[in-house]
Chain A
């Protein structure tokens, strides 16, 4: 796919008031496809969020905790040896990592979990539920619930509980109840459905901390706004580091929260290329992948219209990825919108590509990225040869890989 960075997009379409519009839509995507029971709660949540952002005491409290509890701002780190690795005789791009892996709990997920927990407290909700795939969002939610003394139930597919046993134990250690989900494929999709069913049942006492930029409006906006701190910091740090905007942003995309958090403050800066990397699993030519944007079609899942992996009859298909966090047949509606506009580009890399990248980054930079994050790194193989000297790339190093060492060892044939 050729670079589309020079094609000017209508500014109105990229303006914040179009993402989402007053109906909770991003172009044709988004909306609220949920049981009526939840509609008043979604309206309440949207109102609470709008009021909270206007309230200095809320914003101050959030910022204070992001700093003292989460450890923000995270550094923008110049990956010199990775840069060197991709340097050609005629030069090459410079690679920077936005170190979200250094956040408390080891991934970007806590930005949103913390923000939503503060919102839940504001709304007087005492019980929190969440879904989790890799367990990072579950751990982040369990963490903030412990911090605020909130009851916490995390829905997790049984298959993912096996793959991410360490995170299951972490959540339990933090006092959360981890509820196994055995329906369907027993992965993130089914855990999300089950969390929504819990919310339908307990909506009056419970807040649902959805972990991605997916779900019914206002979640895609709400989750993005809590993660936008990633992009806002990166923008400032780029100016400090090299005096201008970056040229390329790269992030992995499952539901798309870390990517949206990085992209958001740059969406209207059309000189900045934005690249999302999906999980191609065993290959997009096979039926075992999770490349929703590159391979999916328009549909409705978990309350939003977006691109979706589905069969000829509109039944949602199983997704497959070595990374539990990307193993999702849907994607956030704003990504589908940015794709349609041509504002962001989306590609996919296989399990094997991600495994190779994980080892490369570990050995060159002394940073073990999460398997999810490794997908973003893997795209450098394709991208770097096309970029000229002086190009500044920012990769969202969205999570650390400690949780994945067992999976990686198994896949490369090492018995621990």
Chain B
């Protein structure tokens, strides 16, 4: 059963503002989020801060897949993260800076009438 999506959370942009298989940064209540449009026009959103460098750059990484799971690679030191769960799939032997969590926080992203809406999740990342 598919319920009609209700627009909750925050609208960040139109889907058309995003390039397929690339990310963009968004500011949501002062928090920086990396939003990705995949090839099937679904959207994923994770934290913009790269845990391994502390810089706000995740949206600029290369999008890809590992065993079918959509991923983004940090443009800084190339760790790979799942775009579905935010989990760091490969630390490449590095440690996150300042004892941070190696995984990225995840937002629920939905496309409603051509607009991209974000909602924080509390789910396990």
Q: Real complex partners, A and B?
A: no
Tell me the B residues contacting A by CB distance below 8 Å.
Answer: none
Tell me the A residues contacting B by CB distance below 8 Å.
Answer: none
